[in-house]
Structure 1
Amino acid sequence: MIDFYYWPTPNGHKVSLFLEETGLDYTLRPVDIGKGEQFRPEYLAISPNNKIPAIVDHAPTDGGDPVPLFESGAILLYLADKTGRFLDSDPRVRMLTFEWLFWQMAGLGPMSGQYGHFNVYAPEKIPYAIERYTNETHRLLRVLDTQLKGRDYLAGDDYSIADMAAYPWIGVYDSAPIDMTPYQEVQRWHASIAARPATQRAYALAKQVNPDAGKPISDEERKILFGQR
């Protein structure tokens, strides 16, 4: 029913978390971003920003033509609407979920990504950039920790697409780990999601499509991932 264009990155994990939680029928379509497969014309027709993830829903609820979608947040919203899962119908809870989904998309993801780039992937160490993005990542973790006090999940008692969006961006970089000791609520929340069977199935996809995940990238991969104009 759904073609799922995936590579094991935090944004790719968001959609695999949803698909595994709901049991939607999908076909995994690996897109090896280290080899530049995201720039192939047939993929750009689906994801014009040459990023993963993307989906094509061959059985949309309106019964019409297949629906292609890129951008992980948009995909989560679409799938939540399609299934009626992980997005509460109560307007207040719904808006809270939107807030934290967009917070992740605009803040936690981009800032954590820059933290990783300058600490792990950059060919030279730039102290200002490292300090800037380390500080901002810690600030966002404090925001997340505060929101989780007194709540099981970001929007309240129930697991939602906001949690699926934020979860993969915690503890991403093994070679540049962030000290999580100050963030007890984040640790509790993260552990509860990690223990879900669907989470374990979703993350198992990483080794299935990329057994070399976590190894240092080559100069050629670096050029493809970070040298495009």
Structure 2
Amino acid sequence: MSDAISRRLPPEFMQLEGSKKPGSTLWPSDAKAQADINRWQCWGLAHFGSACGIYIYEHLVKKFLHLGDPDPAELRKAEERFHRFAKVLDNHLMGRTWLAGNSTTLADYSVGAPLALAEAAAYPMAPYTEIRRWYAGMEALEPWKRSAPPA
């Protein structure tokens, strides 16, 4: 499976693929570690990713589909949601290299995926130094580089 495809899979498929590789840090065999990874994957889908999705739709999808300019009311909603959840992520990352555990896991890939479009979709990233530091670490990973969207 290509890195580009695997980065965009739902968590359950990522976990299934990870379980096929014993000893992998992406989805360790320890149940407690798996629960923490799953928690962050679900949080990313329900909260952080959905906030990013509004920016993606308003700034990128609408432009691509010629649906008009970004809606200021939707962007205000996005900003409130983004800041609420980015603060949670930024605080959690303080003093940590990776989101769940001491090495890269599926949680990092899941929660980090929407950040690939942060600049293009105009996320308000400036205040979030820990997220930016962590994401720079993600961007330095070879699998991440191979799956990056075209510039």
Settle same-fold status: TM greater than 0.5.
yes
Mapped to 2, the partners of 1:175 and 1:169 lie a distance apart of 11
Unaligned runs of 5+ in 1: 5-11, 17-52, 54-70, 208-213, 215-229
Aligned residue for 1:183? 128
Secondary structure in structure 2 of the residue aligned to 1:154: coil
Aligned residue for 2:33? 93
Aligned residue for 2:18? 80
Would you say how many aligned residue pairs link Structure 1 and Structure 2? 144
Aligned residue for 1:102? 42
Select the structure with the greater relative contact order (CA < 8 A; seq sep ≥ 6): 2
Deviation track 1:196-216 (CA, whole Å, cap 9, x = no partner) reads 12221222xx45xxxxxx6xx
Question: Who wins on radius of gyration, i.e. which is larger?
Answer: 1
Secondary structure in structure 1 of the residue aligned to 2:13: helix
Q: CA, structure 1 residues 103+131, in 2 after alignment: closer, same or farther (shift >3 Å)?
A: same
C-alpha deviation, 1:175, in angstroms:
4.1
The code of the aligned residue for 2:54 comes to Q
8 Å CA contact 1:115–1:137 kept in 2: the answer is no
Deviation track 1:31-67 (CA, whole Å, cap 9, x = no partner) reads xxxxxxxxxxxxxxxxxxxxxx6xxxxxxxxxxxxxx
8 Å CA contact 2:55–2:123 kept in 1: the answer is no
The code of the aligned residue for 1:81 comes to S
Aligned residue for 1:164? 109
Residue 134 (str. 1) matches residue 79 (str. 2): yes
What TM-score, normalized by structure 2, do the two folds share?
0.81
Identity percentage over the alignment?
23
Aligned residue for 1:150? 95
Q: Which has the higher helix share?
A: 2
8 Å CA contact 1:14–1:165 kept in 2: the answer is no
C-alpha deviation, 1:111, in angstroms:
2.2
C-alpha deviation, 1:192, in angstroms:
0.9
Deviation track 1:46-91 (CA, whole Å, cap 9, x = no partner) reads xxxxxxx6xxxxxxxxxxxxxxxxx521210111111132112333
Deviation track 1:86-142 (CA, whole Å, cap 9, x = no partner) reads 112333222111100111122222221122212442524432211001221122111
Unaligned runs of 5+ in 2: none
The code of the aligned residue for 2:47 comes to G
Q: Which has the higher strand share?
A: 1
Instruction: Write out the 4+ residue segments of structure 1 that deviate beyond 3 Å after TM superposition.
Output: 173-176
What TM-score, normalized by structure 1, do the two folds share?
0.56
Mapped to 1, the partners of 2:42 and 2:4 lie a distance apart of 17
8 Å CA contact 2:4–2:146 kept in 1: the answer is no
